[in-house]
Amino acid sequence: MSRDARAGNVVARLLVTAVTVSLLALGGPAPLRAGTSQGTGQAATPRQTATGPATRPAGAAAPQPLVDESFFDEARERLAEAFRLDDFYAYQERRTELNTNPFGRLGTGDVQLYEVYPSPTRGLTYRRLIATNGEPTSAADLARQDREYHQRATEIRRRLAEEAAERLHGAPEERAAAEVRRAEELERSRERAREQIDDVINAMQFRVDRRETFEGRSAIVVTFEPRPDADPQTRRGDLARKFAGTAWIDEAEREIRYVEAVSVDSISFGLGLAARISDGAVATLRREKVADGVWMLTSVTLTGRGRAMLFLRGLSLDYSVEWFDYRPVDEVPLPGAR
């Protein structure tokens, strides 16, 4: 993957993991982060905003919270379920290519349209480029992409089949040892994921602010900002604490619909050597219902200004990704399949 493509993925992960995943904290504290020494080691949880005045006369009834605790438990579980469904829906993706150039522009490259066929098996997800700047990909190039994908997929499946056969025919103690290794690797992977999520959550603090109508529907508004005492241990946690913003949660559906965040610190790309985005960059994220009970990401944007370090020029950033035409992957034939 090119440096430009990697930079684009950083921006997408920045919003999807450092902002949306942060909202998994809604509803309760996170587990103690390994090595935590400052504070309580627990994630900040949403504070219910009083519906009455900040102070009340002695003996007056306490104000009622906007929603009960189960609201955020459900919102968190539905978001987690959407993540679990990622591999089961094919979709189209329109992406602005992110790059830097001597003219101080970042994020002004080609607009590419992909068909994406996900797979839970590593290496088997197929991203098929079908248009660039509105110009359809040629039939010959589509055929080449299909051919290369199926060659790669065949090799991956062959290797997986051989590994499964070895496990099946190996000595009992060898099979047992292999199972233990796989279980340990899986647990290490899960632990790393938990640590990253916990680190992001611990970097933020949340406030349940108000109820309002958002795009014609009642929504609970949650604001978030970096914790002043945050000490992130991961790249994702460090990115999270660079943003403050607002999330709108559909009250009836218990689904996060829209997030808008503004950077409160600069963001570096390419280890700070390629570009630095100034504070004030605006990030947005939108989720919509794509099927009964299924909500998915439909857009991510990041706009702002900064400096291309190599050429010492000002730059502007206008990055966007859109996802649409979601369909169950088992109902969509894979192109080029025989």
Counting Cβ atoms within 10 Å, is residue 60 exposed (0-12), middle (13-18) or buried (19+)? exposed
**H/E element, 146:** helix 139-169
User: Buried (b) or exposed (e) across 83-92, using 16+ Cβ within 10 A?
Assistant: eebeeebbbb
The number of beta carbons lying within 10 Å of the beta carbon of residue 166 is 12
In whole angstroms, give the CA distance from residue 153 to residue 87. Answer: 16
Can you give the pLDDT at residue 42? 39
Can you give the pLDDT at residue 252? 92
Q: Which pair of structure tokens corresponds to residue 212? A: 């309002």
In whole angstroms, give the CA distance from residue 314 to residue 278. Answer: 10
What amino acid occupies position 183?
Answer: A
How many CA atoms, within 13 angstroms, populate the side-chain half-sphere of residue 250?
18
Predicted TM-score of the model (pTM): 0.73
Can you give the pLDDT at residue 202? 78
**Three-state secondary-structure class, residue 221:** strand
Grouped pLDDT means (10 residues each) for the chain, 338 residues: 32 40 33 28 39 46 67 79 85 80 55 93 92 96 96 93 76 73 76 72 81 93 86 79 88 90 78 66 90 90 74 70 93 85
CA distances from residue 131 to 3, 94, 114, 150 in whole angstroms, order as listed: 22, 9, 7, 20
Can you give the pLDDT at residue 115? 96
